[in-house]
Structure 1
Amino acid sequence: MDYFLLKQDVRYTNVPMLKKVFEKIDPWKLYNLQPEDIVKPLMFNVRADAESIFIDYLEGPIPLISNALKSLIQTYVPELPMKLTILTQIEQKIQKNYYIPFVERLVAVHPESEWNLDQSVLKKLVLQADAIRGHKIFRIQESAIPMIIVRLDVAESILRRDYTGTTLEQVRAK
Protein backbone atom coordinates (compact mmCIF):
# COMPACT_ATOMS: atom_id res chain seq x y z
CA MET A 1 0.00 0.00 0.00
CA ASP A 2 1.22 3.51 -0.79
CA TYR A 3 1.44 6.27 1.83
CA PHE A 4 1.77 10.03 1.56
CA LEU A 5 2.94 12.82 3.84
CA LEU A 6 0.27 15.51 4.18
CA LYS A 7 1.96 18.90 3.90
CA GLN A 8 1.13 22.56 3.71
CA ASP A 9 1.71 23.80 0.16
CA VAL A 10 4.72 26.14 0.24
CA ARG A 11 3.41 28.04 -2.80
CA TYR A 12 0.85 29.67 -0.50
CA THR A 13 2.94 32.27 1.29
CA ASN A 14 0.23 34.63 2.55
CA VAL A 15 -1.48 32.33 5.02
CA PRO A 16 -2.60 33.08 8.57
CA MET A 17 0.08 32.72 11.25
CA LEU A 18 -0.94 31.88 14.82
CA LYS A 19 0.04 34.43 17.45
CA LYS A 20 0.84 33.73 21.11
CA VAL A 21 0.46 29.96 20.87
CA PHE A 22 2.33 29.37 24.13
CA GLU A 23 -0.13 31.52 26.04
CA LYS A 24 -2.88 29.04 25.15
CA ILE A 25 -0.92 25.77 25.08
CA ASP A 26 1.80 24.80 27.52
CA PRO A 27 5.02 24.51 25.45
CA TRP A 28 5.92 21.31 27.32
CA LYS A 29 2.68 19.72 26.13
CA LEU A 30 2.79 21.02 22.57
CA TYR A 31 4.54 17.97 21.12
CA ASN A 32 2.38 15.49 22.99
CA LEU A 33 -0.91 17.41 23.09
CA GLN A 34 -3.89 15.23 24.03
CA PRO A 35 -7.64 15.90 23.61
CA GLU A 36 -8.11 16.12 27.39
CA ASP A 37 -5.55 18.97 27.52
CA ILE A 38 -8.08 21.20 25.72
CA VAL A 39 -11.22 21.69 27.79
CA LYS A 40 -12.92 24.41 25.75
CA PRO A 41 -12.40 25.57 22.15
CA LEU A 42 -9.13 27.40 21.61
CA MET A 43 -9.14 30.86 20.08
CA PHE A 44 -6.04 32.21 18.39
CA ASN A 45 -5.48 35.64 16.97
CA VAL A 46 -3.71 35.34 13.65
CA ARG A 47 -1.43 37.54 11.63
CA ALA A 48 -3.32 37.92 8.36
CA ASP A 49 -4.46 40.61 5.97
CA ALA A 50 -7.31 40.99 3.49
CA GLU A 51 -5.41 38.96 0.86
CA SER A 52 -4.48 36.10 3.22
CA ILE A 53 -5.71 32.69 2.14
CA PHE A 54 -7.15 30.45 4.84
CA ILE A 55 -5.91 27.16 3.43
CA ASP A 56 -7.31 23.74 4.37
CA TYR A 57 -4.20 22.48 6.19
CA LEU A 58 -1.96 24.60 8.43
CA GLU A 59 1.15 22.72 9.55
CA GLY A 60 2.47 24.35 12.58
CA PRO A 61 3.20 24.73 15.41
CA ILE A 62 0.10 22.56 15.80
CA PRO A 63 -1.54 20.96 12.78
CA LEU A 64 -4.91 22.52 11.97
CA ILE A 65 -7.45 21.36 9.41
CA SER A 66 -10.41 23.19 7.92
CA ASN A 67 -14.00 22.08 8.37
CA ALA A 68 -14.05 20.65 4.83
CA LEU A 69 -10.92 18.55 5.39
CA LYS A 70 -12.25 17.49 8.80
CA SER A 71 -15.34 16.00 7.13
CA LEU A 72 -13.21 13.96 4.75
CA ILE A 73 -10.87 12.68 7.47
CA GLN A 74 -13.83 11.68 9.65
CA THR A 75 -15.14 9.62 6.75
CA TYR A 76 -12.03 7.45 7.00
CA VAL A 77 -11.48 7.61 10.78
CA PRO A 78 -14.87 8.44 12.38
CA GLU A 79 -13.60 7.97 15.96
CA LEU A 80 -10.71 10.43 15.50
CA PRO A 81 -10.87 13.07 18.28
CA MET A 82 -10.76 16.68 17.08
CA LYS A 83 -10.94 19.94 18.98
CA LEU A 84 -12.41 23.16 17.65
CA THR A 85 -9.96 26.02 17.23
CA ILE A 86 -11.15 29.47 16.18
CA LEU A 87 -8.80 31.69 14.20
CA THR A 88 -9.58 35.40 14.34
CA GLN A 89 -8.19 38.50 12.75
CA ILE A 90 -9.86 41.44 14.48
CA GLU A 91 -8.82 44.28 12.15
CA GLN A 92 -10.10 42.48 9.02
CA LYS A 93 -13.12 41.06 10.92
CA ILE A 94 -12.24 37.52 9.90
CA GLN A 95 -13.11 34.43 11.91
CA LYS A 96 -12.60 30.85 10.71
CA ASN A 97 -13.14 27.51 12.39
CA TYR A 98 -10.35 24.96 12.27
CA TYR A 99 -9.79 21.70 14.11
CA ILE A 100 -6.83 20.08 15.82
CA PRO A 101 -6.81 16.42 14.73
CA PHE A 102 -5.50 14.08 17.40
CA VAL A 103 -4.12 11.52 14.99
CA GLU A 104 -2.81 8.24 16.38
CA ARG A 105 0.98 8.24 16.78
CA LEU A 106 2.91 5.25 15.53
CA VAL A 107 6.53 4.24 15.93
CA ALA A 108 6.95 3.78 12.20
CA VAL A 109 10.37 5.05 11.09
CA HIS A 110 12.41 2.42 9.27
CA PRO A 111 16.19 2.27 10.00
CA GLU A 112 16.88 3.31 6.38
CA SER A 113 15.39 6.76 7.06
CA GLU A 114 17.82 9.68 7.00
CA TRP A 115 18.10 12.15 9.89
CA ASN A 116 20.00 15.39 10.35
CA LEU A 117 23.14 15.31 12.54
CA ASP A 118 21.42 15.62 15.92
CA GLN A 119 18.61 13.22 14.93
CA SER A 120 15.92 15.89 15.41
CA VAL A 121 14.68 16.27 11.81
CA LEU A 122 13.89 13.56 9.31
CA LYS A 123 15.52 14.39 5.98
CA LYS A 124 14.25 11.29 4.18
CA LEU A 125 11.40 9.27 5.66
CA VAL A 126 11.06 5.54 5.08
CA LEU A 127 8.16 3.86 6.86
CA GLN A 128 8.20 0.52 8.67
CA ALA A 129 5.59 -1.48 6.70
CA ASP A 130 4.68 -3.83 9.57
CA ALA A 131 4.01 -0.96 11.99
CA ILE A 132 1.64 0.94 9.71
CA ARG A 133 -0.36 -1.92 8.20
CA GLY A 134 -4.10 -1.27 8.54
CA HIS A 135 -3.76 2.41 9.49
CA LYS A 136 -5.40 4.97 7.21
CA ILE A 137 -4.14 8.14 8.90
CA PHE A 138 -1.38 8.36 11.50
CA ARG A 139 1.37 10.55 12.83
CA ILE A 140 5.08 9.74 13.11
CA GLN A 141 5.98 9.33 16.80
CA GLU A 142 9.73 9.79 16.32
CA SER A 143 9.48 13.21 14.66
CA ALA A 144 9.62 16.41 16.72
CA ILE A 145 7.52 18.21 14.10
CA PRO A 146 4.01 16.98 13.27
CA MET A 147 4.13 14.58 10.32
CA ILE A 148 0.72 13.28 9.32
CA ILE A 149 0.74 10.30 6.95
CA VAL A 150 -2.28 9.24 4.89
CA ARG A 151 -2.89 6.01 3.00
CA LEU A 152 -3.40 6.02 -0.78
CA ASP A 153 -7.22 5.96 -0.62
CA VAL A 154 -7.27 9.00 1.67
CA ALA A 155 -4.73 10.79 -0.54
CA GLU A 156 -6.85 10.17 -3.64
CA SER A 157 -9.91 11.58 -1.87
CA ILE A 158 -7.96 14.69 -0.89
CA LEU A 159 -6.78 15.19 -4.47
CA ARG A 160 -10.28 14.70 -5.94
CA ARG A 161 -11.78 17.42 -3.75
CA ASP A 162 -9.36 20.18 -4.69
CA TYR A 163 -8.48 21.41 -1.20
CA THR A 164 -6.55 24.67 -1.01
CA GLY A 165 -3.00 24.72 0.30
CA THR A 166 -2.50 21.00 0.76
CA THR A 167 0.09 18.88 -0.96
CA LEU A 168 1.02 15.23 -0.70
CA GLU A 169 4.49 13.73 -0.88
CA GLN A 170 4.86 10.01 -1.46
CA VAL A 171 6.67 8.09 1.27
CA ARG A 172 8.30 4.72 0.77
CA ALA A 173 7.47 1.81 3.09
CA LYS A 174 9.72 -1.22 3.68
Structure 2
Amino acid sequence: MDYFLLKQDVRYTNVPMLKKVMETIDPWKLYDLQPEDIVKPLMFHVKADAESTFVDYIEGPISLISDSLKRLFQAYVPELPLKLTILTQIEQKIQKNYYIPFVERLTAVHPESEWNLDQSVLKKLVLQADAIRGHKIFRIQESTAPMIIVRLDVAESILRRDYTGITLEQVRVQ
Protein backbone atom coordinates (compact mmCIF):
# COMPACT_ATOMS: atom_id res chain seq x y z
CA MET A 1 0.00 0.00 0.00
CA ASP A 2 1.22 3.52 -0.79
CA TYR A 3 1.50 6.27 1.84
CA PHE A 4 1.86 10.02 1.50
CA LEU A 5 3.13 12.84 3.71
CA LEU A 6 0.51 15.57 4.10
CA LYS A 7 2.15 18.97 3.66
CA GLN A 8 1.18 22.61 3.44
CA ASP A 9 1.71 23.85 -0.12
CA VAL A 10 4.67 26.27 -0.13
CA ARG A 11 3.31 28.00 -3.24
CA TYR A 12 0.78 29.72 -0.99
CA THR A 13 2.87 32.45 0.58
CA ASN A 14 0.16 34.75 1.92
CA VAL A 15 -1.37 32.45 4.52
CA PRO A 16 -2.40 33.32 8.07
CA MET A 17 0.42 33.14 10.61
CA LEU A 18 -0.52 32.17 14.17
CA LYS A 19 0.46 34.70 16.84
CA LYS A 20 1.44 33.97 20.44
CA VAL A 21 1.27 30.18 20.17
CA MET A 22 3.67 29.70 23.09
CA GLU A 23 1.53 31.96 25.28
CA THR A 24 -1.60 29.94 24.49
CA ILE A 25 -0.11 26.45 24.64
CA ASP A 26 2.55 25.39 27.13
CA PRO A 27 5.79 25.06 25.09
CA TRP A 28 6.66 21.87 26.99
CA LYS A 29 3.41 20.26 25.83
CA LEU A 30 3.49 21.56 22.26
CA TYR A 31 5.26 18.48 20.86
CA ASP A 32 3.15 16.02 22.84
CA LEU A 33 -0.16 17.86 23.01
CA GLN A 34 -3.05 15.63 24.12
CA PRO A 35 -6.83 16.25 23.82
CA GLU A 36 -7.16 16.50 27.60
CA ASP A 37 -4.63 19.38 27.63
CA ILE A 38 -7.22 21.56 25.89
CA VAL A 39 -10.29 22.14 28.03
CA LYS A 40 -12.06 24.82 25.97
CA PRO A 41 -11.74 25.88 22.32
CA LEU A 42 -8.50 27.69 21.56
CA MET A 43 -8.41 31.09 19.91
CA PHE A 44 -5.41 32.33 18.00
CA HIS A 45 -5.01 35.79 16.56
CA VAL A 46 -3.44 35.55 13.14
CA LYS A 47 -1.35 37.82 11.00
CA ALA A 48 -3.43 38.05 7.82
CA ASP A 49 -4.80 40.57 5.38
CA ALA A 50 -7.75 40.73 2.98
CA GLU A 51 -5.80 38.76 0.33
CA SER A 52 -4.61 36.00 2.70
CA THR A 53 -5.57 32.47 1.74
CA PHE A 54 -6.92 30.33 4.57
CA VAL A 55 -5.55 26.97 3.43
CA ASP A 56 -7.16 23.68 4.44
CA TYR A 57 -4.02 22.41 6.20
CA ILE A 58 -1.75 24.56 8.35
CA GLU A 59 1.42 22.62 9.11
CA GLY A 60 2.96 24.35 12.07
CA PRO A 61 3.76 25.02 14.81
CA ILE A 62 0.70 22.88 15.50
CA SER A 63 -1.19 21.02 12.79
CA LEU A 64 -4.56 22.56 12.00
CA ILE A 65 -7.17 21.31 9.54
CA SER A 66 -10.16 23.14 8.10
CA ASP A 67 -13.75 22.11 8.73
CA SER A 68 -14.04 20.42 5.32
CA LEU A 69 -10.79 18.46 5.77
CA LYS A 70 -11.99 17.49 9.27
CA ARG A 71 -15.07 15.83 7.74
CA LEU A 72 -12.86 13.80 5.39
CA PHE A 73 -10.55 12.73 8.25
CA GLN A 74 -13.60 11.65 10.28
CA ALA A 75 -14.91 9.61 7.37
CA TYR A 76 -11.74 7.49 7.50
CA VAL A 77 -11.10 7.63 11.27
CA PRO A 78 -14.49 8.22 12.97
CA GLU A 79 -13.04 8.08 16.49
CA LEU A 80 -10.38 10.76 15.75
CA PRO A 81 -10.22 13.26 18.63
CA LEU A 82 -10.38 16.87 17.44
CA LYS A 83 -10.30 20.20 19.26
CA LEU A 84 -11.87 23.36 17.90
CA THR A 85 -9.45 26.22 17.27
CA ILE A 86 -10.68 29.62 16.17
CA LEU A 87 -8.42 31.76 14.00
CA THR A 88 -9.29 35.43 14.14
CA GLN A 89 -8.03 38.63 12.55
CA ILE A 90 -9.74 41.59 14.20
CA GLU A 91 -8.79 44.38 11.76
CA GLN A 92 -10.13 42.48 8.72
CA LYS A 93 -13.05 41.03 10.73
CA ILE A 94 -12.10 37.48 9.74
CA GLN A 95 -12.85 34.43 11.84
CA LYS A 96 -12.36 30.83 10.72
CA ASN A 97 -12.85 27.53 12.50
CA TYR A 98 -10.01 25.02 12.37
CA TYR A 99 -9.37 21.83 14.31
CA ILE A 100 -6.35 20.26 15.93
CA PRO A 101 -6.38 16.61 14.84
CA PHE A 102 -5.01 14.28 17.51
CA VAL A 103 -3.85 11.69 15.03
CA GLU A 104 -2.50 8.39 16.39
CA ARG A 105 1.29 8.38 16.72
CA LEU A 106 3.17 5.37 15.41
CA THR A 107 6.79 4.35 15.82
CA ALA A 108 7.23 3.63 12.13
CA VAL A 109 10.58 5.03 10.94
CA HIS A 110 12.64 2.42 9.08
CA PRO A 111 16.43 2.30 9.76
CA GLU A 112 17.04 3.31 6.12
CA SER A 113 15.59 6.77 6.85
CA GLU A 114 18.03 9.66 6.74
CA TRP A 115 18.38 12.09 9.66
CA ASN A 116 20.37 15.28 10.11
CA LEU A 117 23.55 15.15 12.24
CA ASP A 118 21.89 15.48 15.66
CA GLN A 119 19.02 13.10 14.77
CA SER A 120 16.40 15.84 15.24
CA VAL A 121 15.13 16.28 11.66
CA LEU A 122 14.16 13.57 9.19
CA LYS A 123 15.74 14.38 5.82
CA LYS A 124 14.38 11.31 4.01
CA LEU A 125 11.57 9.27 5.51
CA VAL A 126 11.21 5.54 4.98
CA LEU A 127 8.33 3.77 6.77
CA GLN A 128 8.29 0.26 8.27
CA ALA A 129 5.53 -1.73 6.57
CA ASP A 130 4.74 -3.86 9.65
CA ALA A 131 4.28 -0.84 11.93
CA ILE A 132 1.79 0.98 9.69
CA ARG A 133 -0.30 -1.89 8.37
CA GLY A 134 -4.02 -1.13 8.68
CA HIS A 135 -3.58 2.55 9.61
CA LYS A 136 -5.21 5.15 7.37
CA ILE A 137 -4.00 8.39 9.00
CA PHE A 138 -1.17 8.62 11.54
CA ARG A 139 1.71 10.73 12.81
CA ILE A 140 5.38 9.82 13.01
CA GLN A 141 6.32 9.37 16.68
CA GLU A 142 10.06 9.85 16.15
CA SER A 143 9.73 13.29 14.54
CA THR A 144 9.47 16.52 16.51
CA ALA A 145 7.83 18.18 13.49
CA PRO A 146 4.16 17.33 12.96
CA MET A 147 4.36 14.74 10.16
CA ILE A 148 0.94 13.41 9.22
CA ILE A 149 0.92 10.39 6.91
CA VAL A 150 -2.15 9.30 4.92
CA ARG A 151 -2.81 6.06 3.09
CA LEU A 152 -3.43 6.00 -0.67
CA ASP A 153 -7.25 5.92 -0.37
CA VAL A 154 -7.22 9.00 1.88
CA ALA A 155 -4.78 10.75 -0.48
CA GLU A 156 -7.05 10.04 -3.45
CA SER A 157 -10.03 11.45 -1.54
CA ILE A 158 -8.05 14.61 -0.78
CA LEU A 159 -7.08 15.00 -4.43
CA ARG A 160 -10.67 14.49 -5.64
CA ARG A 161 -11.93 17.39 -3.57
CA ASP A 162 -11.27 21.08 -3.98
CA TYR A 163 -8.89 21.60 -1.06
CA THR A 164 -6.57 24.59 -0.99
CA GLY A 165 -2.92 24.62 0.03
CA ILE A 166 -2.32 20.88 0.39
CA THR A 167 0.42 18.82 -1.23
CA LEU A 168 1.06 15.12 -0.89
CA GLU A 169 4.55 13.63 -1.05
CA GLN A 170 4.89 9.88 -1.54
CA VAL A 171 6.84 8.08 1.19
CA ARG A 172 8.83 4.90 0.61
CA VAL A 173 7.73 1.84 2.61
CA GLN A 174 10.09 -1.06 3.43
Which band: TM-score by shorter chain? Answer: over 0.9
Residue deviations 1:128-156, cap 9 Å, x none? 10000000000000001000000000000
Residues 92-130 of structure 1 show CA distances to partners (whole Å, capped at 9, x for unaligned) of 000000000000000000000000111100000000100
CA distance in 2, matches of 1:22, 1:10: 24
- Displacement, 1:81? 0.1
What amino acid does structure 2 have at the position aligned with 1:22?
M
Q: Distance in 1 between matches of 2:11 and 2:55?
A: 11
TM-score by length of 2: 1.00
Give the share of equivalent positions with the same residue, in percent: 88
Q: Which residue of structure 1 aligns with residue 51 of structure 2?
A: 51
Give, in whole Å, the separation in 2 of the partners of 1:75 and 1:68. 11
Q: Which residue of 2 aligns with 1:119?
A: 119
Moved over 3 A (4+): none
| Contiguous gaps of at least 5 residues in structure 2 | none
Tell me whether 1:69 sits opposite 2:46 in the alignment.
Answer: no
State the alpha-carbon separation in 2 of the partners of residues 104 and 81 from structure 1. Answer: 9
| TM-score normalised by L of structure 1 | 1.00
Separation in 1, partners of 2:63, 2:107: 19
- Distance, in Å, in 2 between the alignment partners of 1:22 and 1:8 is 21
Work out the CA distance in 1 between the residues paired with 2:170 and 2:5: 6
Q: Secondary structure at the match of 1:159?
A: helix
- 1:50-82 Cα offsets, whole Å, 9 max, x none, are 100000000000000000000000000000000
Distance 1:59 1:79 in 2: 22
Aligned equivalent of 1:37: 37
CA distance in 1, matches of 2:51, 2:116: 36
Instruction: Extract unaligned runs of 5+ from structure 1.
Output: none
Question: Structure 1 residue 12: deviation in Å?
Answer: 0.2
| 2:26 maps to amino acid | D
Separation in 2 of the partners of 1:23 and 1:65?
21
Partner Cα distance (2:109, 2:121) in 1:
12
What is the deviation of 1:17?
A: 0.4
Alignment match, 1:16: 16
CA distance in 2, matches of 1:28, 1:169: 29
Residue correspondence of structure 1 range 1-174 to structure 2 within 5 A = 1-174=1-174
For 2:4 and 2:98, the matched residues in 1 are separated by 22
Matched AA of 1:138: F
Q: CA deviation at 1:162?
A: 2.1
**Separation in 2 of the partners of 1:140 and 1:54?**
25
